[in-house]
């Protein structure tokens, strides 16, 4: 069965010396004060003891941004946060929730082998911020379905978690507002888990729990309605099927949300022609036109006429850049550009050598520009190869890109070197595994 979340993987292909991209087979929290509302970011710092751990990452989630992963970093870093969701999820791998607000400065550390958040300027107290972790410690992780093996276990976790939050409120350890929020999240976590066939308890009357638009601010409500849609769609992610089911099951803002989520997944798995037609089919189908605008911004380059040549690159969030924009950002540093694609075996084979070069030349910028035709393939390969978000981009449309045409990038892997002023000084540079490259990357 098709997975409905990005999976790490690599597309196995013929191990050729080079690849032709044109012939590829695509292998609201009410406590938020006015000062916090005036900013759109949170600030995160990981304790040095967990910097090298790959398991500990904060994940921002809201209806329109979806997921934004914050990996360990030694310095405080600002992350865009719209405020449409007041909750964060921390994968350890056990999932939990934290009440985070815009403008918060967060320090992530470990206490007794569990994640602990210290928020220096939060309106929530320490227990409220780390309540999800306390549930983990008490062996009642209601937010993590993986550890819930059957219906009896689910009911037991839910009962104990409710008892703990009620007791905490009675002694004044948490506020009534916090109690209401966490219990709503727990209720939808339970409903979400009950959609799992393994723990199906015979009661799947969901009508009274969906289409409550104000609940879109609940992380587990969004997970719940998403799973309902996924269960019914199964492997069918055709746009007509998504539209039909969304209209059948949902209304209002909830319908917009599920339609957007599944349309985005479907479009990411299409080539330019398919995305072009599907975007036309989706136009006018959202009550909140912002959702359509987000899809159009992400996939709009597929509308472009082949005669209208331009250079557009996008990052993982769908933001648009030109190569000159990116080079200007790194003015003062030499830039080594890797043209690659997920389906190109020789390109992928060079990645380990490229990583070694990055360590040997910390003052050189390494850019990875993908020629994938399907965005999802690029995203999965990017995650598998552990490429940095800041240095990894996708050509929006290789058929109409003037840079690729001008420099005849017809076969990959292909490498180029730009000097500190952004000028191209080597349009056919050696591969990372070639010893000659070291001399060219030196100051």
Helix (H, G, I), strand (E, B) or coil at 366: strand
Residue of 411, 415, 365 whose CA lies nearest to 390: 365
Sorting pLDDT into bands at 50, 70 and 90, what band is 243?
very high
Most confidently modeled of 5-9, 35-39, 121-125, 332-336? 332-336
The residue-averaged pLDDT of 278-300 equals 85
Sorting pLDDT into bands at 50, 70 and 90, what band is 77?
low
d(CA 230, CA 244): 13
Report pLDDT for 354: 92
- pLDDT exceeds 90 at position 72: no
Tell me the per-residue pLDDT of 49-62, one tens digit each, with 9 for 90 and over: 776 665 566 777 66
d(CA 437, CA 244): 54
Here the contacts of 200-203 (C-beta below 8 Å, separation 24 or greater) are 200/151, 201/151
Helices marked H in 195-309: 219-233, 239-249, 252-267, 272-282, 289-299
- pLDDT exceeds 50 at position 378: yes
The residue-averaged pLDDT of 297-320 equals 70
Report pLDDT for 17: 37
Residue of 55, 82, 58 whose CA lies nearest to 68: 58
The region of weakest confidence among 234-238, 254-258, 268-272, 312-316 is 268-272
Residue of 69, 66, 62 whose CA lies nearest to 46: 69
Task: Collect all residues with Cβ–Cβ distance below 8 Å to 116 and sequence separation of at least 6.
Answer: 108, 109, 110, 130, 133
With beta carbons less than 8 A apart as the criterion, state whether 292 and 377 touch: no
Q: Apex CA 44: angle with CA 40 and CA 47, to 5°?
A: 175
d(CA 272, CA 283): 17
Share of the chain above pLDDT 90, in %: 21
With beta carbons less than 8 A apart as the criterion, state whether 140 and 165 touch: no
The region of weakest confidence among 3-12, 144-153, 255-264 is 3-12
Q: Which of residues 35 and 157 earns the better pLDDT score?
A: 157
Residue of 145, 136, 149 whose CA lies nearest to 193: 145
- pLDDT exceeds 60 at position 274: yes
- pLDDT exceeds 80 at position 286: yes
> How far, CA to CA in Å, does 318 sit from each of 56, 102, 218, 284, 434?
25, 22, 25, 21, 33
Q: Which of residues 93 and 254 earns the better pLDDT score?
A: 254
Tokens 């839910």 -> residue: 158
d(CA 250, CA 256): 8
The region of weakest confidence among 197-206, 222-231, 384-393, 401-410 is 197-206
- What is the enclosing helix (H) or strand (E) of 377? helix 375-384
pTM above 0.75, yes or no: no
Helix 219-233 and helix 252-267: axis angle, to 10°?
60
With beta carbons less than 8 A apart as the criterion, state whether 219 and 201 touch: no
Q: Which of residues 56 and 241 earns the better pLDDT score?
A: 241
User: What phi and psi, each to the nearest 5 degrees, are found at residue 367?
Assistant: -105, 135
Sorting pLDDT into bands at 50, 70 and 90, what band is 27?
very low
Sorting pLDDT into bands at 50, 70 and 90, what band is 392?
very high
User: What phi and psi, each to the nearest 5 degrees, are found at residue 101?
Assistant: -125, 160
Average pLDDT of the chain is 77
Residue of 22, 108, 23 whose CA lies nearest to 59: 108
Share of the chain above pLDDT 70, in %: 75
- pLDDT exceeds 60 at position 10: no
The residue-averaged pLDDT of 368-377 equals 87
């Amino acid at each position: 069965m098709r997975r409905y979340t990005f999976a790490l993987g690599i597309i196995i292909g013929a191990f050729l010396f080079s690849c032709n991209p044109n012939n590829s087979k695509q292998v609201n929290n009410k406590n938020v004060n006015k000062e916090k509302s005036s900013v759109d970011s949170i600030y995160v710092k990981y304790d040095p003891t967990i910097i090298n751990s790959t398991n500990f990452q904060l994940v921002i989630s809201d209806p329109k941004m979806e997921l934004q992963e914050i990996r360990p970093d030694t310095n405080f870093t600002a992350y865009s946060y719209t405020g449409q969701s007041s909750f964060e999820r921390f994968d350890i791998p056990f999932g939990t929730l934290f009440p985070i607000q815009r403008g918060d400065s967060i320090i992530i550390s470990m206490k007794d082998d569990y994640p602990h958040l210290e928020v220096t300027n939060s309106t929530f107290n320490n227990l409220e911020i780390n309540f999800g972790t306390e549930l983990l410690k008490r062996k009642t992780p209601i937010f993590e379905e993986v550890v819930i093996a059957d219906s009896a276990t689910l009911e037991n976790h839910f009962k104990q978690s409710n008892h703990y939050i009620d007791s905490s409120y009675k002694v004044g350890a948490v506020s009534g507002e916090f109690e209401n929020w966490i219990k709503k999240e727990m209720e939808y976590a339970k409903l979400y888990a009950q959609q799992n066939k393994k723990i199906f308890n015979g009661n799947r009357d969901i009508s009274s729990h969906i289409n409550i638009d104000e609940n879109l601010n609940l992380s587990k409500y969004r997970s719940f309605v998403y799973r309902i849609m996924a269960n019914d769609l199964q492997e069918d992610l055709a746009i007509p099927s998504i539209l039909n089911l969304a209209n059948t099951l949902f209304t209002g803002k909830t319908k917009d949300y599920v339609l957007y989520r599944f349309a985005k997944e479907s479009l990411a798995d299409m080539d330019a022609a398919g995305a072009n037609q599907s975007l036309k089919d989706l136009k006018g189908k959202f009550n909140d036109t912002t959702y359509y605008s987000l899809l159009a911004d992400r996939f709009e380059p597929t509308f472009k006429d082949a005669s209208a040549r331009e250079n557009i690159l996008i990052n993982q969030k769908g933001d648009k850049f030109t190569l000159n924009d990116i080079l200007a950002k790194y003015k003062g540093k030499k830039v080594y550009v890797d043209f690659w694609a997920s389906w190109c075996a020789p390109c992928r084979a060079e990645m380990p050598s490229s990583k070694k070069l990055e360590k040997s030349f910390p003052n050189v910028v390494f850019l990875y520009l993908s020629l994938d035709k399907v965005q999802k393939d690029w995203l999965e390969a990017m995650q598998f190869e552990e490429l940095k978000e800041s240095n990894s981009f996708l050509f929006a449309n290789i058929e109409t890109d003037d840079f690729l045409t001008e420099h005849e990038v017809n076969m990959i892997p292909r490498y180029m070197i730009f000097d500190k002023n952004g000028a191209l000084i080597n349009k056919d540079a050696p591969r990372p595994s070639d010893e000659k490259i070291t001399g060219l990357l030196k100051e």
